[in-house]
Amino acid sequence: MSSNPLIKALGQSLAGIFDNQHQAQETPTWFVPTRLWQYPLVQQIDGYYAMFVEQAPLLTPEQPYRQRLMLLSGPHPGPNDSDLEIIYRAFRDPAAIAGAAQTPERLASITSEALLELPGCRLRVQRQGDRFIANPPEGAKCCFDYQGKTRQVELGFDLTPDCLYSRDRGVDPDSGKGLWGALMGAYEYRKHQPFPLPKTW
């Protein structure tokens, strides 16, 4: 994929270290204090610019979880002819890449062979002023198998240069009942350390 100003703007807003400590202190019943890393990869994956994503409890960063990769694509034809797309991939062996956000030199070894496709796990992204709004395409369902069971995640976020408002939440695939994540509103992740995009972007 060739360089594109809109992709670079999205990548720059996504890249960084975030946490929701302020939110967890104000409403600890509903929001777990969490740190979120989003690292842009130097290498492309299947022709896409890619972002490694990992999170961990704020108090125990040595216990990272939910490792995934975001592939950034577009612009695509849409209501304003400038829609972007984020495609999610999972890792075949999450334990092998766990903690890479804190040892980012390991990210250069990620290849497409280490990843699993996640049908339905994608977002359509539109820019509105200095904000990006990401929602799943109509009818899309993000489902995957974990520990022998089918899991479903409802994806979505609003993004400014300084804050990520994550609407991700796990739901029961049969009842649609919320199980974890943004059950009482979006997680508000404030960016504390930005990362520059690699020159390859």
**Residue 26 near residue 91, CB atoms below 8 Å:** no
pLDDT at residue 34 greater than cutoff 90: yes
* Helix runs in the chain, H state only: 5-14, 21-26, 94-97
Cα separation, 139 vs 79, whole angstroms? 18
Burial of 146 (0-12, 13-18, 19+ CB in 10 A): exposed
Of 24-33, 51-60, 81-90, 165-174, where does mean pLDDT reach its minimum? Answer: 165-174
Q: How far is CA 137 from the centre of its chain?
A: 16
For 61-76, b/e burial (b = at least 16 CB within 10 A) is beebeebbbbbbbbbe
Cα separation, 12 vs 14, whole angstroms? 5
Q: Tell me what pLDDT residue 78 has.
A: 58
Q: Tell me what pLDDT residue 16 has.
A: 98
Amino acid at 58: L
- Pairing relation of β-strands 149-154 and 169-171? antiparallel
Residue with tokens 């961990």: 56
Mean model confidence pLDDT for the chain? 91
**Residue 68 near residue 89, CB atoms below 8 Å:** yes
Structure tokens at 141: 């369902």
Average pLDDT for 68-84:
79
What predicted TM-score, i.e. pTM, was given to this entire model?
0.90
Domain boundaries 5-194, CATH class: mainly beta
Residue 196 per-residue DSSP state:
P
Going from N- to C-terminal start, the domains of the chain cover 5-194
More confident residue, 155 or 171: 155
**Residue 66 near residue 91, CB atoms below 8 Å:** no
Of 7-11, 77-81, 112-116, where does mean pLDDT reach its minimum? Answer: 77-81
Contacts with 45 (C-beta within 8 Å, 6 or more apart), sequence order = 69, 71, 89, 110, 111, 112, 115
pLDDT digits (tens, 9 = 90+) for 172-194: 776 677 766 767 789 999 999 99
